[in-house]
Structure 1
Amino acid sequence: MTSAGLARKASPSREQFEPIRALLENARKKTRPRTVDLYEVFCAILYLLKSGCQWRMLPSDFTKWRTVHHYFSLWSEKPEGGASLLEQALKKNQVGEARTRQGRNAKTSFCIVDAQSVKNTDYARRKGYDAGKKVSGIKRHIFVGTQGLPHAIAITTADVSDRQGALKTIEQNWEGLTEVTSLLVDGGYSGQPFAEAVQSLLGASVQVAKRHELHTFAVMPQRWVVERSFAWLEKCRRLWKNTERLLNTSLQFVNLAFLALLLRRY
């Protein structure tokens, strides 16, 4: 089986891709008739995400790499004060739809918050040093519901603290968090100033989940959900390390990883 065939087998089917096709078609900027299949382009980008290969090393049985990269750039563009098409497809389309099918409200009232520091490669331009994790690179901040579905994602350099990153995530994704009334965090987010800032921005309370015994492993109720969400990202080789030059590119690949997961499952 060709590389393209394997990618299609591991990617959402054409039927599963249909809910977001119309949204991605909005990236069109010219009146010339489209000559490429958007589904094939989407599968090619997922191949890069899963395999971790470089754009120029995309197998020849896919659409030309320059075309694939062009569409990814269009889908990743963030208008001033707005969301990219990939973010819209994930949060406004798939996450809300998945919750609605299960009899829940499209927007969650409870979020579990965490951050993950990721090492940079020499290609990446932006980086910082996380002294606590001893990692030089970037940091991913995510807010997930009780099912592990992302409601807010932000990427910063690793030197940004968990608390600062969480507040920045709220500011960048405020529209999708308007119904949130409670946040569950770990000890890294403790402190009255952070709780007051969250109350000011969201009107939500902060619950700190603390371990009962130091140096003893225990599964913390509900906190494991966000760890599972990070584990879903680890299934994509391109996300094992940060290979992107721009923070926005790193953000869009995280959005794409969650989007592909939701399309296949729901």
Structure 2
Amino acid sequence: MTNAEWAAIRPLLPVPAWLEGRGGQPEGYCHRQMLDAVRYLLDNGIKWRAIPADFPAWDRVYVFFRRWHRQGLIAEFHDRLRSRLREREGRKAEPTAAVIDSQSLRAAGTVGAGSRGWDQAKKVGGRKRHLAVDSTGLLLVVKVTAASVQDRDGAVPVLERLRALHRKITLVWADSAYAGQLVHWAAESLRLALTIIRRAKGDKTLQVLPRRWVVERTLAWLMHRRRLVRDYERLPATHETMVLWSMTMIMGRRLARRPPHSTGGRPHH
């Protein structure tokens, strides 16, 4: 990362337990080295053992990655970046609306048979990642399932977690794959207004649909990371963590840019 990016994200890093007297030992490498190593692996799609010698030893980087995953530090760091970026763009830290969608991925041989499936609609065998993003495309919730899981079924845990983590959200946009009983369930059980945005009847041309394009752009962002083009992770939770890391890269680079001009009081979700 650049010096400007490091200066922007450094104040938002989680504080190590040993610095707060909560146990543990001081780390042998600085956070910037470790973050760069994980980002390099994610960006280039390499194996852990293939991390270049310029970085700390691969097993130390892996231990760092696992600790941040297990202790929820990457989720904490990700959420801090999202709040800071929303505020810098003139929005409130907590969103009031979201957009959901999914994306099927081919799975590598390292993915066990118990967590993979066949997406009949997309003709893809592997896993599916379900996303909820805010109205600017920043990630709110990610859930990875077998590709055989229908969008409506995969949306249930996503919406439940969305309600638990973001109490101010009342409106969620989605495509027609989420229509039907899910709309009534979301309204009755979670008090979420699930609004379906449909294509014009019989229209199969490529077009940008209101609200839906936001989450589709986020899915395209993830595909810029070679590690996320195909699912290589043994556990779905590890792939979810990789998605969080990818979004921290995007947000860190945006925070390093000059602040945008004022929006002039335009209402935001």
TM-score range, shorter chain: 0.7 to 0.9
For 2:188 and 2:68, locate their aligned partners in 1 and report how far apart those are by CA, in whole Å. Answer: 33
Residue in structure 2 matched with residue 98 of structure 1 by the alignment: 85
1:25 aligns with 2:16: yes
For 1:27 and 1:101, locate their aligned partners in 2 and report how far apart those are by CA, in whole Å. Answer: 31
CA displacement at 1:135 relative to structure 2? 1.1
CA displacement at 1:17 relative to structure 2? 3.0
CA contact (8 A) 1:113 1:185 kept: yes
For 2:147 and 2:212, locate their aligned partners in 1 and report how far apart those are by CA, in whole Å. Answer: 22
SS at match of 2:118: strand
Residues 123 and 259 of structure 1: is their aligned pair in 2 closer, same or farther, counting only changes over 3 Å?
same
CA displacement at 1:158 relative to structure 2? 1.1
SS at match of 2:168: coil
1:34-82, Cα deviation, whole Å (9 max, x unpaired): 221111011000000000000001111110000000000001116xxxx
For 1:248 and 1:24, locate their aligned partners in 2 and report how far apart those are by CA, in whole Å. Answer: 23
Aligned-residue CA RMSD (Å):
1.9
Residue in structure 1 matched with residue 259 of structure 2 by the alignment: none
Query: Percent of aligned positions with the same letter in both sequences?
Result: 29
Instruction: Give the alignment partner of residue 57 of structure 1, picking from 23, 47, 50.
Output: 50
Contiguous gaps of at least 5 residues in structure 1:
1-7, 79-83
For 1:33 and 1:145, locate their aligned partners in 2 and report how far apart those are by CA, in whole Å. Answer: 36
Residues 203 and 30 of structure 1: is their aligned pair in 2 closer, same or farther, counting only changes over 3 Å?
same
Residue in structure 1 matched with residue 128 of structure 2 by the alignment: 139
CA contact (8 A) 1:94 1:259 kept: yes
Residues 173 and 109 of structure 1: is their aligned pair in 2 closer, same or farther, counting only changes over 3 Å?
closer
For 2:162 and 2:32, locate their aligned partners in 1 and report how far apart those are by CA, in whole Å. Answer: 28
1:85 aligns with 2:73: yes
CA contact (8 A) 1:115 1:142 kept: yes
Contiguous gaps of at least 5 residues in structure 2:
256-269
1:223-245, Cα deviation, whole Å (9 max, x unpaired): 11111101111110000000000
Instruction: Give the alignment's TM-score, normalised by structure 2.
Output: 0.87
SS at match of 1:183: strand
CA displacement at 1:103 relative to structure 2? 2.7
How many residue pairs are counted as aligned between the two chains? Answer: 250
CA contact (8 A) 2:160 2:190 kept: no
CA displacement at 1:12 relative to structure 2? 7.1
